Amino acid sequence: MRLCKKGSKCTFDKPCEQGAQESIRKLLRLKEWCNYFHLENTYLPQIINFLELGGWKDSPVLVGGCFEELTPKQDLIDVKRWAANLIYAGIFTRKPIQECLQKEFPYIHKYYGISQLMNLAKNPKYGINGRVAHVDEETGIWSFS
């Protein structure tokens, strides 16, 4: 005899300041644990920054937080290719790359472009030919390593 129903009991509510602050608090605590266990290359700093700057106020609320659900797949592939070409040039910092992506793809949410840059920089699975983007610490210039 089953006493409770299967499935999630949580729901996605409309974003609010209180929810953002609560999320920041929890993510900062998670970041402490990541530091304790020497886990690197997490997206926590970018997520916390996104919440602190209020990016959630003009972002769509989607299950799982994926922007891909709103945009045709070919457009997303084009964004990745465009970003990769700018990185291959080896003369741009992050801000000009983001500005170029927003000009070229104004109909795609700006945070998707940012997430593609982060994917290209951190994850070989999303990189080009298994290569991840590298950011020169002195100049801030992006290139493929």
Q: What does the pLDDT look like over 78-120, one tens digit per residue?
A: 888 888 888 888 888 888 888 888 888 887 777 777 777 777 7
114 & 74 share domain: yes
Residue 20 exposure: Cα atoms within 13 Å on the Cβ side = 18
In whole angstroms, what is the distance from residue 65 CA to residue 139 CA? Answer: 32
For the chain, how many structural domains are there in total? 2
- Per residue, the 3-state secondary structure of 35-65, as one string, reads HHCCCCCCCHHHHHHHHHCCHHHHCCCCHHH
83 & 115 share domain: yes
Q: What does the pLDDT look like over 38-89, one tens digit per residue?
A: 988 788 888 888 888 887 777 655 544 444 444 566 777 788 888 888 888 8
Other C-beta atoms within 10 Å of 55: how many?
A: 15
Instruction: Give residue 66's pLDDT.
Output: 47
On whether residue 71 sits in a domain, the answer given is: yes
Instruction: Give residue 129's pLDDT.
Output: 63
86 & 145 share domain: yes
On whether residue 40 sits in a domain, the answer given is: yes
On whether residue 129 sits in a domain, the answer given is: yes
In whole angstroms, what is the distance from residue 119 CA to residue 132 CA? Answer: 8
22 & 81 share domain: no
- Check if the beta carbon of residue 17 is closer than 8 Å to that of residue 66: no
Single out the residue of 64, 129, 145, 139 nearest to residue 115, CA to CA: 64
Q: Is the torsion defined by CA of 52, 55, 61, 62 positive or negative?
A: negative
- Compute the average pLDDT of residues 8-24: 76
On whether residue 2 sits in a domain, the answer given is: no
95 & 126 share domain: yes
Other C-beta atoms within 10 Å of 33: how many?
A: 9
81 & 124 share domain: yes
40 & 99 share domain: no
Look up the CATH number of the domain holding residue 70: 1.10.10
Q: Phi and psi for 143 in degrees, rounded to 5? A: -155, 170
30 & 78 share domain: no
On whether residue 35 sits in a domain, the answer given is: yes
On whether residue 46 sits in a domain, the answer given is: yes
pLDDT class of 145 with cuts at 50, 70, 90: low
Instruction: Give residue 45's pLDDT.
Output: 87
DSSP state of 125: T
Instruction: Give residue 32's pLDDT.
Output: 93
Given a cut of 80, is residue 33 above it in pLDDT?
A: yes
Residue 72 exposure: Cα atoms within 13 Å on the Cβ side = 5
pLDDT class of 13 with cuts at 50, 70, 90: low
What residue numbers bound the domain in which 72 lies? 66-145
On whether residue 7 sits in a domain, the answer given is: no
